[in-house]
Chain A
Amino acid sequence: MSDASSQANNDTRRAAHGLYALLSRLWLREPDQALLELLQHGDVAEACQAVAPELVAAAGQATCDDLAVDFCRIWLGPTDHLPPFQSVWEGGQFGGQAATSMQPYLAMSGYTPPLEFNTSMLDHLGVQLDWMRHWLEQFQGAQPEGAPEDFPATVQRAFFRKHLSWPHALLAQSESRADTSFYRAVVRLTRDFLARESRRLGLAEMEG
């Protein structure tokens, strides 16, 4: 591989890593002031302006408290909410097959999820995005000795297919349920990114 193409691959991977990091942060927890600052000023804000200008605008207008309320209403409840867990959307309850299926991926990668996501709740969209961040960080594109060809990417593809290609209905309904333009933008950004990732990993072609 030429230096240029290796650098390009590294950049692609780093970019994916950054987007997984950003999105998992947005899905796992309510924003704090530091996150809102990040989305309004500096490199991230500038780059975000091109991809999701409404997110940048919303970050400038919203207060952490308003966003915490909207985050709660859309995904935590306590009522009429949309639990962002794969098992819920596939089997109608927490702790279904999707949660169990996360376990080997965690074990093989040494990933430790945030504390509140115990065994039955590993299939939260935020945890799944975060696992991808972690995986990209772990392998950084290199091929471990003795591993099958293209091992890190193969795992990514398998994981994505199993654990990141489910949330379409969640995203569609979250967008219409959100009160704030901030969370409408978060949902759109997630949807667009997952569609790009699906293509980057060659899954869209497989499907198509």
Chain B
Amino acid sequence: MPERPLNRRAWMKLGLAASGASALGLGGCEEESAPSGDASAAGDKSRANDLERWRAMKAEPYQVGDFGAMPGVCNLPGPEAKRNWPDPDKYRNVQRVPGMCQLCSTVCGIVGYVKDGRLIKIEGHPNDPNSRGHLCARGHAGLNHLYHPERLLYPLKRVGKRGEGKWKRISWDEALDEIAAKLRAVRESGRPEEFAFHQGRQRSKDILKRFLDAFGTKTQLSHRALCSGSRRAANLTYLWESDWDLNDVEHTKYILNFGSNAFEAHQGHVPFATRIQNGRFRNGAKLVTFDVRLSNTAGSSDEWFAPFPGTDGAIALGMAHAIVQAGRHDTEFLQQWTNVSIEELEEHLEPYTPEWAESVSGVPAADIARIALEFAAAAPACTTMCNRGSSAHINGYYNDRAIQLLNAIVGSVGKQGGWCWSPWSGLDPIVETPPMPPGAKTWSVLEDPPEFPLANVWRRMRVGEIIYLYLLQGRARLQAYMTYNLDSPLTWPEESLTQQVLCDESLIEFHVCINCFYNETAHYADIVLPWATYLERWDLDARGSYNLRPYVGVRKPMVEPLGEAKDVREFFPELAKRIGGGMEQWFQESVEEYMEQWASNVPVNPATGKGGLERLLEEGFWESDRQPYYEPYLRELSDDELSDSEVDPDSGVITKDGVGIGVMLQGKAVCGFATPSRKFEVRSLFVEKIGANADCSELIALSGVKASNRHANHQGHDVEIDAMPTWFQPVEHQRLADDELIMTSFKWNVHNHGRTMNLKWLAEIVHSNPAWLNPKTASAFGLQDGDWIEVTSYHSAEVEARNPHLTHGQAEPTSGRRVVASMRVPIVTMQGIHPRVIAMSNSCGHTQYTSVAQAKREAPAAEHLAGSNPSAYHDDDWRRNMWWEDPSGGDPARWRRNTGSGWNQNKLMPIAPDPVSGQQAFHDTVVTIKKVVPA
């Protein structure tokens, strides 16, 4: 780019004219004046000020040039980096700041190394009792997240059509004014439920709830049903007290894993995976995995079996049958602590023989029986584990009930090394939020769809995957929609339906998106607000700990937020003030005052004399010294608890004021389980009744747990739920034709579903997702490794039969199957997958979310400016070194393996909720494939 020849005089004239132009304003913040042209009094004064400044900073005045070595931020190998490595000064004078990772929901403790206002390294926090100083690859890549060059830095307002991608910067003031005006109008319309807040991963529950309750809407949507609804509903059916089993794998002797890829994808990821390995290598535990795919967990197991998809529950029932038949069950536990007799159980399990299980799963009956007896022999130090692999099915609720039943049969429930849980799913209750507004009382079909009976009775799990369809069907409307850390077009089933609804201003009138990056959801927003990363904001946080006792950790800003990014803690109070109408009264304190108040009950450490927030900021974490939550049902009730209580002579259940508090056990009053029968409820009358919309107030009172009857609007939506653990197979799986396969999804250890493909360290490791096929299957379809196929996916006949209101899409004239979509992808063949399965990972196929996520490269610059040092200007990664860019333009003939950004599997996935819990079935989709012949 040659410089244009211009004469000096012309430049001088422009410069001199501009020098005095007041319309230019000033860039910097200080008061200044243009040079007068004469170095007189004003200039001398100004220089004198400078000399004072230099003295004050004790710097050498008039130092010029290189100010010494600057600390490097993650310099990757390159000529400069290599020369300076290792850098002995890199961590000199760093400040170590505690925090908690949030690149997934495991929230591992971290320590940030901050130097000169910059975060230069993240490592695990050794004081985190749950993660114990371990981090996964994503945790380390938090630096990419914080300093990503394509982060959102300013509020943006849409100027073109929605979805057109045309924006302009606006100030926070303008943004908040516009949002407040819209929300005020919704509030004053008398239909506050038409403001929906839709969150992805969130770890700031208190402030979100505070804002929404103060506003008066209960329409808080989540992705829980896309994640763990069935497992939670199954656990709640047995326990009521907790929806989350915390398998005591570190102390176990036997782990029976039904489809969980715990080494890569579990919500308890690092803390759980490290304990599994401790259990195996320190305690000699055996790990047996059933998974349709040889995941990294399956590959690290002692034994791996690939069952037919969705048959985990059948295998578990087959095992239960084998154990009971062999008399290897725990009679004492079953008699004392479950609400079925052994005879009843035997009778119930009778049809579920290992041979029957083999007939549906393909796993040999002999192996099912052998493993069942090995499992029983290890009792009570044995546990099942499961997660999305078994629960993200149309029959997921029943799969997980059948799996958890095994623990009751062998008596490992609540035992050391067994199948445990705790009531502390988050922060230790010792910390109390400053006073909260009363809960909102609205109802919305989006938040509480009446067709899915267990979605909201114990916990508000909701049925996230149906919301866009319901909006399209006109079952609800949204005047205002606020999304937060959400990437629904990528992570929700039926991408094109999601996009269609998000784009339609008659269905969603106003959309504000809060995010760190411009993603596929932000693309359909009207206003985008730049969110502070988890490294730049405050929270108290914790999750269900595998130590089976509660704890508290802190997240605090390690560095100032970049640009104008802000956290909701900072701008919700301002927004509430602008909306007015009393909302503002719930946002009185500054963020730090609020945090101090919230953490004030953290006890004083006698060694340091520090307590509350001060202690957390110094130590990062505080863990309660309670005993682990083993066999909590044996705890004897105190005299205090027993005073004025009554004992039911038939059941032995102890109540006080009509509320269950315990049960009599061999003459002793113990607390038992927090269920209506105070037993581990193998038979659940509650689910049977609640499915039928019967009044369950009495059962709820007996449990003593906060649960609710279904809303009056559920009347007419009765669903049959079996009181006993049973199993069914979706009809389309029963009649799977020879040319049909079942598509399942999976996740890699270096990614979460929708929020890490923008991080270059991780994207370089995994950036694409060809479909996995067994070589036998490939050969039957005339395919070879590397070939391209067209995949066509179909809606579930089972879902349509159970929930006809979900039926949509075109039916094929010949087969009658309803098509979801077709997509072209390449295949990789490998033995490690069931022959009737085709698998694709999620996380890939971004159409937004930075150039890294889309593997878009920038051409290297050929020239440099005079005076520059081109050897120092090596761009390590951002755009110019992206070796995996795919220049083929989707042409199979030109595509090279391991290039590109992959394909969004959710184009193909239909909306398919479990009819009981509402969990999305990500692993059941029937597809056909055909070879794409390159032109």
Give the interface of A toward B (CB within 8 A).
7, 10-19, 21-22, 24-25, 28, 30, 34-35, 37-38, 42-44, 46-48, 50-52, 65, 68-69, 71-73, 76-81, 83, 85, 87-97, 99-101, 103-104, 107-116, 118-121, 126-127, 129-131, 133-134, 136-142, 144, 146-148, 151, 154-155, 158, 160-162, 165-169, 171-173, 175, 188, 191-196, 198-199, 201, 203-204, 206-208
Contact = CB atoms under 8 A, between A and B. Distances in A.
A137 B27 contact: no
Interface string B505-524: 00000000000001000100
A113 B564 contact: no
B880 to A, nearest CB: 8
Contact of A119 (B32, B118, B848, B874): B118
Given A16-B15, A21-B21, A92 B154 contact: no
B36 A206 contact: no
Interface string B47-82: 101110110010101111111001111110000000
A175 to B, nearest CB: 8
B14 A168 contact: no
A100 B149 CA distance: 16
B35 A137 contact: yes
B13 A47 contact: yes
B25 interface: yes
Given A38-B21, A90-B874, A114-B28, A109 B50 contact: yes
Contacts of A208: 866
Nearest to A206: B867
Interface string B139-162: 000011011111111101001000
A95 B118 contact: yes
Counting chain A CB atoms within 10 Å of each CB, which of B25, B152, B165, B877 scores highest? B25
A110 B168 contact: no
Contacts of B25: 25
A28 to B, nearest CB: 5
B256 to A, nearest CB: 44
Residue of A15, A151, A165, A201 with highest tally of chain B CB at under 10 A? A15
B27 A28 contact: yes
B168 A18 contact: no
A201 B875 CA distance: 27
What are the 6 A-B residue pairs with the smallest beta carbon separation, nearest first? A15-B15, A18-B19, A169-B861, A92-B878, A130-B27, A203-B867
B867 A77 contact: no
Given A100-B70, A140-B36, A151-B64, A207 B14 contact: no
A31 to B, nearest CB: 10
Contact of A69 (B37, B159, B528, B858): B159
B462 to A, nearest CB: 29
Contact of A50 (B13, B146, B147, B149): B13
Interface in B897-916: none
Given A103-B116, A192-B4, A95 B147 contact: yes
Given A134-B32, A148-B62, A165 B868 contact: yes
Nearest to B861: A169
Given A15-B14, A47-B14, A147-B62, A142 B148 contact: no
B868 to A, nearest CB: 4
Contact of B30 (A28, A111, A194): A111
B712 interface: no
B149 A94 contact: yes
Interface string B853-892: 0001010110111111100111111110100000000000
Contact of A141 (B14, B17, B29, B39): B39
Contacts of B21: 18, 21-22, 38, 43-44
Contacts of A166: 865, 868, 873
B593 interface: no
B1 A38 contact: no
Contacts of A109: 50
B861 A24 contact: no
A104 B493 CA distance: 52
A47 B11 CA distance: 8
Contacts of B146: 94-95
Contact of B118 (A44, A85, A120, A172): A120
B556 to A, nearest CB: 16
24 contacts: A14-B15, A18-B20, A35-B24, A47-B18, A68-B169, A73-B166, A76-B156, A92-B149, A94-B149, A94-B562, A95-B73, A97-B70, A101-B67, A116-B153, A137-B32, A137-B33, A142-B44, A142-B47, A144-B50, A147-B61, A165-B868, A188-B4, A192-B6, A195-B866
A62 to B, nearest CB: 13
A127 B70 CA distance: 19
Chain A interface, DSSP helix/strand/loop, else mixed: helix
B65 A158 contact: yes
Nearest to A19: B15
A108 B59 contact: yes
Nearest to B18: A18
A144 B47 contact: yes
A126 B866 CA distance: 19
A37 B4 contact: no
A142 B64 contact: no
Contacts of A175: 1
A100 B117 CA distance: 9
A203 B10 contact: no
B64 A148 contact: yes
A49 to B, nearest CB: 9
A165 B879 CA distance: 20
Given A72-B156, A92-B877, A121 B46 contact: no
B73 A93 contact: yes
Contacts of B34: 14, 17-18, 21, 137
B149 A85 contact: yes
A7 B150 CA distance: 46
B27 A114 contact: yes
Contacts of B863: 168-169, 172
B10 A50 contact: yes
Nearest to B81: A91
B562 A15 contact: no
Interface in B818-873: 848, 850-851, 856, 858, 860-861, 863-869, 872-873
Contact of A99 (B32, B59, B118): B118
Nearest to A133: B27
A165 B865 contact: yes
A63 B74 CA distance: 42
Given A92-B877, A120-B562, A141-B39, A168 B868 contact: yes
Contacts of A138: 46-47, 50
A92 B875 contact: yes
A83 B562 CA distance: 13
Contact of A110 (B43, B53, B518): B53
B559 interface: yes
A116 B563 contact: yes
Contacts of A155: 64
Nearest to B847: A79
B16 A14 contact: yes
A127 to B, nearest CB: 7
B167 interface: yes
A105 B559 CA distance: 21
B23 A37 contact: yes
B149 A93 contact: yes
A126 B705 CA distance: 60
Given A93-B147, A140-B43, A111 B15 contact: no
Contacts of B549: none
B18 A89 contact: no
A90 B873 contact: yes
Contacts of B74: 93
Contacts of B117: 118-120
A79 B166 CA distance: 10
A37 to B, nearest CB: 7
Contacts of B29: 112-115
Given A137-B34, A198-B867, A97 B19 contact: no
A116 B861 contact: no
Contact of B11 (A15, A87, A90, A104): A15
